[in-house]
Structure 1
Amino acid sequence: MTQTRGAVAFRNVQKRFGSFTAIPDLTLDITPGQLVTLLGPSGCGKTTTLRMLAGLESPSQGQILIGGEDVTRLPADRRDVSMVFQSYALFPHMLVGQNVAYGLEAGGMRAAEARKRADEALDLVGLAGLGDRLPAELSGGQQQRVAVARALVLEPQILLLDEPLSNLDARLRRKVRTDIRELQQRLGFTAVYVTHDQEEALAVSDTIVVMKDGRVAQIGTPRELYEAPASEFIADFIGEACVVDGRVLSVANEIAQVEMGGVTFPLPARGAAPGPARLSLRSNALKVKTSGEGVAGTVASAAYLGDHIEYEIDSSIGRIFVVDDESDTLLATGSAVCLEVRTRGVALIPGAA
């Protein structure tokens, strides 16, 4: 296996649809053996990017490489990739094993060998012994795993997954995303995964590429994007943080002393200079207290959700969303509170003064 097998590179790729430019200028590298998620709101260009990688769309300009080979003008059937669609796309009249073996047989493999390989692939995804059933006899989660097995049996350089969990209910989504992640880590293949679901992206990815208006807004690990957003857009989109005004009082040794709502605390400076600043507050960044020091506020709404309480707090820095997972006492609307700043969940947003 070459060192470049499973590597992906976009070089100054542009995609136009008539007068509309969906992808203005994309340069991106994907490391072999990683699960990389393209994440963003509808219309951000993530699916167009995946379709260009699959060969289902052609770039208007630029270059795409897979495993070091220029595939920009190669048709889909000559690229060493397999795709898992959100609709599963299983043949309803074929048995599960026949579905998985279909691509191998279409490529010229003898039926007996193709079925043996299909059974091995079904075993990999936890569906051993189900090859003689029809797709309709399986659950939605099982059908999606059949689609993954059908893609993996071809041993592609890249596995492409386009919103693969969108047709599943919440509990099945958690189960199948765990299955996909465990399988990818165990086998070490390269996967490019498209979703608009932030939680899903955080759960499965080695690296997340957040896209906005056809451009890369930020690339990083799930922790980097969640804890150190590069812009207000990232802060709001990844985890729906509250973005508020503050002030950097001083900076020393890359630590900023920050004032927010009358409270002063240290934060990584992230290039900030003294002066006005914008801060990202995660829902767990503030602790709701009924007395003591902190940002003063009033409970605007409260909701008990079993293992935690969700509050909206009106304060001097605006309306803040806070999750309290330490107390089972539900504070009434109108209650006076103070918000203690915790050490995690607060970040300065670079260049957003």
Structure 2
Amino acid sequence: MSNPQRGAVEFRSVRKDYGAFTAIPHLDLKIEPGQLVTLLGPSGCGKTTTLRMLAGLETPTQGAILIGGQDVTRLPPNRRDVTMVFQSYALFPHMSVFQNIAYGLESGGLRASEARAAAGKGLELVGLSGLGDRLPSELSGGQQQRVAVARALVLEPQVLLLDEPLSNLDARLRRRVRTEIRELQQRLGFTAVYVTHDQDEALAVSDRIVVMKDGHIAQDGTPRQLYETPASEFIADFIGEANVIGCDVISVEADGARVRVGSQEIALPARSASTGAAKLAVRPNAFRVLQSGEGLAGKVLSAAYLGDHFEYEIDTAAGRLFVVDGDSTTAAAPGADVVLQFRGAGVALIA
């Protein structure tokens, strides 16, 4: 009988200390089967420690970790039914691609012929059929990464763990491989926990993003929720770029708030706001740059043409703002007086 919880992950009141230093004070986290959840945050936030505890490479000081409904807190890595794709790929340089993928299967007791057949299927899964006899050194970085993913998948784990899996690739290859990983995860429906410090990567691959700060969960939600409705100034600044500016909440009715910035008033979701001074997180592309009109007056400090848009630094009464304008065909010159109007999307009240 199949396990309906297969692939589910749960951290229950987990704490991790290293001597007198507490890396994870208290962590409660649930991951549903078939989800790709990214742990995102700056260096030292606790994301890698969380992943290593899930893999069995670190033991919690307190609390419990469950995989597929089973308490694995004290189980060694080889009894957890998880596999990890490391930042370094960790391929054996003297073994062929086939041998690398088959190694874990043979070590687990599978016959060599069966392991080789499974390795062939693994290569087919990641689009590398026909390359099984090559050495890792004869593959590109992206191909090596896919071999590492194939080697993990042929073990049919409940959970695939990916630790900064694209950090060794150049920017263009990183975009392609992250798309391939996401398509593969959606097609096969396995649970994946993905660690990165790259915000764009997290937005591109995730069902959910768990943003960590100082060992705590700062916000947990879908990529769209975190980008459009950040819960704090930290989240607004960390997920994409945002201008954080002061505003006045004029009125709050039901779930809506009326907010004034400069001479402009806008309606926004209230998000537990009360009347009075508050802060807005405003994405750089949430402004229109106009020569005149109602809005937030400013002076252009710098202007740059980037092909399909202009980027500005604009000095305003609300502070120095970074603005991206994709509408205009002619840039406003440095020193020009402009007016910024809100488009509607990309503006959120924050705590």
Q: TM (normalized to structure 1)?
A: 0.98
Aligned equivalents of 1:37, 1:124: Cα separation in 2: 22
What is the alpha-carbon distance in structure 2 between the residues aligned to residue 138 and residue 329 of structure 1? 46
- What is the RMSD computed on CA atoms of the aligned residues? 0.7
What secondary structure sits across from 1:284 in the alignment?
A: helix
1:328-339 equivalences under 5 Å are 328-339=329-340
SS at structure 2 position matched to 1:131? coil
In structure 2, runs of 5+ residues without a counterpart are none
Question: 1:156-175 alignment to 2 at 5 Å?
Answer: 156-175=157-176
**2:10 pairs with 1:28:** no
CA deviation vs aligned residue, 1:37-59 (integer Å, no higher than 9, x gap)? 00000000000000000000111
Once the two structures are overlaid, the 10-residue window that deviates more, 247-256 or 165-174, is 247-256
- Map 1:2-13 → 2, pairs under 5 A: 2-13=3-14
- Paired AA for residue 225 in structure 1: L
Aligned to 1:179: 180
The superposition leaves residues 190-247 of structure 1 with CA deviations (integer Å, 9 ceiling, x where unpaired) of: 0000000001000000000000000000000000000011111111111121111001
Identity %: 73
Structure 1 residue 21 displacement after superposition: 0.3
| 1:321 equivalent in structure 2 | 322
Q: After superposition, give the CA deviation of every residue in 1:224-276 in whole Å (9 maximum; x if it has no partner).
A: 00001111111111112111100110112311110012211100111111111
2:347, 2:156 → 1: CA distance?
Answer: 43
What is the distance in 2 between the residues matched to 1:180 and 1:98?
Answer: 22
Instruction: Give, as a single letter, the amino acid of the residue that structure 1 aligns with 2:80.
Output: R
Aligned-pair CA distance for 1:103: 0.2
- Structure 1 residue 328, shift from structure 2 partner: 3.1
Q: Given the two structures, how large is their TM-score scaled by the length of structure 2?
A: 0.99
Give unmatched runs, 5+ long, in structure 1: none
Asked whether the 8 Å contact 2:263–2:294 carries over to 1, the reply is no
Partner of residue 264, structure 2: 263
Q: Helix, strand or coil: the match of 2:33?
A: coil
Distance 1:287 1:31 in 2: 40
The within-5 A match list for 1:96-175 is 96-175=97-176
The alignment status of 1:238 with 2:239, answered yes or no, reads yes
Q: Where has structure 1 moved over 4 Å in runs of 4 or more?
A: none
**Contact 2:255–2:269 under 8 Å retained in 1:** yes
Q: CA deviation at 1:308?
A: 1.4
Cα distance between partner residues in 2 of 1:329 and 1:113: 64
In structure 2, C-alpha distance between the alignment counterparts of 1:236 and 1:17, rounded to whole Å:
29
* Superposition deviation, residue 307 in structure 1: 1.5
- Aligned residue number for residue 75 of structure 1: 76
Query: Residues of 2 paired with 1:290 and 1:98: CA distance?
Result: 65
